[in-house]
Amino acid sequence: MNIMHGTTIIGIKVKNKAAIGGDGQVTLGNSIIKASAQKIRKLYNDSVIAGFAGATADAFTLYDKFEEKLQESKGNLKKSAVALAKEWRSDKILRRLEAMIIVADKDSLLLVSGTGDVLEPDDGIIAIGSGGNFALAAARALQKYSQLSPAETVKAALKIAAEICIYTNDKIIVEEI
């Protein structure tokens, strides 16, 4: 799996609550272009949250495509994710997009990639981007040894990742459903 540079996105699902968060840093090469980008969105009447890592323009395309799939499936997250992955992998233009997204609703947490992957983590925690592994490790420890909510865990894990990963900052946005 490709590691996207320039961001950290993490999603956590516990019971019927899900949270996705991301930092705000946008880089171009080794320069910081923007420190407060919003990489997390609520979709489909605020019942789905999504976060992206990768090229910004590509992410907007994916958000639009995913919203379209959600409309077609009347909000069915898994069906929409599979439809997006299928189109993303088979479409000549979409196939060139350099991004990954994490999506969640109250029932599921999924990673969708352009290689056709739709992955659901066993432990309800998934992260992408250059600081993803740092945030993932922090979130797993926090979930195991604390009583934090999914949103609190996401925020704490992102702060830890920001202390380690040069492509991740502490301008954090978290959305929860």
Query: How many CA atoms does the CB half-sphere of 12 hold within 13 Å?
Result: 29
DSSP code, position 137? H
CA dihedral of 110, 115, 155, 133, whole degrees rounded to 10: 120
* The one catalytic residue among 7, 8, 153, 168: 7
Q: Which of 74, 154, 144, 65 is nearest to 109 (CA)?
A: 154
Q: Which of 154, 56, 53 is nearest to 113 (CA)?
A: 53
Catalytic residue flag (residue 7): yes
Residues annotated as catalytic are 7
